[in-house]
Amino acid sequence: MIYRFADCVLYTQLYTLHRAGQSTRLAPKVFEVLCYLIAHRDRVISKQELCDQVWEGLAISDATLESCLRIVRMSVGDSGQAQRIIQTQRGHGYRFVADIELPPLPDDTPTPSIPPDPALPPSMPLPSILPVVRPCVACQHINQEDATFCAACGMRLRQPCAHCGQDILLPAAFCTV
């Protein structure tokens, strides 16, 4: 799905946000919060509902949610003054309030490509998927995919499975092997 709002275009299948000519890959939880607010823009979403839907089964703090929403707002250019995109309704929750345009796309319209990384040598093929970054469940700090501990708060992000030794991402209790 493609959503156009303010000076942004959100490509849900690419997990990419284009804003003012810049392409950004959003962290997974930031992306999920933005998509959930857009999908339910017809009503106010409570903090509890947002936590239940985006952080399924995990208990998170208000600070974690606020931090994620702050990143969403920064990503879409919600300054709070000149341009309001996500409205906070004190004591009730959040609502996506920007006008959205859902452009019809013919089947032959190409999706935007991610520009080549100038840091890679030209002979080297570009990776088809950018490196995954993982937000810490506790503090939402963005960590590298292979991090064992959160660089900000020190929380363990992964551990070996007691059964097979394969790395599992926490908060899972065991691997699926």
Residue 166 falls inside a structural domain? yes
Structural domain ending residue among the three candidates 82, 101, 120: 101
**pLDDT given at position 123:** 43
Q: What percent of the chain has pLDDT over 90?
A: 33
Residue 107 falls inside a structural domain? no
d(CA 144, CA 52): 25
Q: Do 82 and 17 belong to one domain? A: yes
For the chain, what is the domain count? 2
d(CA 51, CA 156): 21
Q: Do 87 and 149 belong to one domain? A: no
d(CA 69, CA 75): 10
> What parts of the chain have a pLDDT lower than 50?
114, 116-117, 119-132
CATH, residue 31 = 1.10.10.10
Q: Do 94 and 137 belong to one domain? A: no
Contact status, residue 166 vs residue 160, Cβ threshold 8 Å: yes
d(CA 136, CA 151): 9
Residue 114 falls inside a structural domain? no
Q: Do 88 and 37 belong to one domain? A: yes
Q: Do 21 and 82 belong to one domain? A: yes
Range of the domain at 137: 132-177
What pTM was computed for the model?
A: 0.58
Q: What residues does 35 pair with on adjacent strands?
A: none
